Amino acid sequence: MRTQFYNYICDLQDTITTAIEKVDGQASFQEDLWDRPEGGGGRTRVIENGAVFEKGGVNISGVHGTLPATMQTHFNVSDASFYACGLSLVLHPKNPLAPTVHANWRYFELYDANGDIADQWFGGGLDLTPYYLFEEDAVHFHQTCKEACDIHDPSFYPTYKKRCDEYFWNAHRNEARGLGGLFFDYLKPQQKSMEDWYAFVTDVADHFLTAYLPIIERRKNLPFTEDQRNWQEIRRGRYVEFNLVHDKGTLFGLKTNGRIESILMSLPPQVQWKYNHEAEANSPEEELIKVLKQPKNWVELK
């Protein structure tokens, strides 16, 4: 399974980066191959200063070794080793009317002292973070997520949509990071076969471009003001706060001696933090904040 999934994310990285370069029309991804001294490595691809994307990354990695003591405590194991692979992406458009997007699909194996698999699971998802609310974009994104889930189980979308809303919650701000999408973790063989989980996770990943590209095409060339750009940079600050304070993937990478440049690739290049900043009453900015304070259902659940 680990070989099968790693080969899949290698191909997926090629597919996504090719599509993003075509949408941008100007910039290309720069590739950086790296090795992890403890075992494994990765392939980081970053795009910067494009016509559409100010910064973005589509990264894959496959790492292995002894599980650090802090993580052994987290998983309640001792003398354990691990293997983890996945694809992680973040795309930050220049235009404040175009949304940031994040996605991640990963596979994990935990081994006992004899080297046998003691545990294994899939995780991942995708979520949308706009700076201005376009309801048709939210509906399209969530409808695509639902279609990917419904191929496998109609209960998946409402379950994993709710978990996404819960996970990407900036508790210290009492607001969501964005409009959500899907989030799932610890998909294990006790629930379904790993082959079934593989089929589900890869179907979700295969729907990513369908979910995001129509939105970016609609918004990338819209005119915008300096005030809208300032709002985008202020909201990007909340994005950074979540990634550095709450995100489990970031914390796992830091605690397992992951590659810092790849881990922090998700951070946008231009960000603002203004003291006690609030959106103007009855403004488009406040309209977004209201939805972030109270996540809503974007598609009909039967």
Distance CA 90, CA 20 (A): 11
| Active site members | 102
Which token pair is 279? 């959106």
Residue among 104, 158, 173, 124 nearest 298 (CA): 158
The answer for 51, left when phi > 0, alpha when psi is -120 to 50, beta otherwise, is: alpha
Residue among 297, 23, 55 nearest 181 (CA): 297
Q: What is the DSSP string of 96-112?
A: TTSPEEEEEEEEEEEE-
Alpha carbon separation from 190 to 42, 81, 121, 157, 194 (Å, rounded): 30, 21, 10, 20, 9
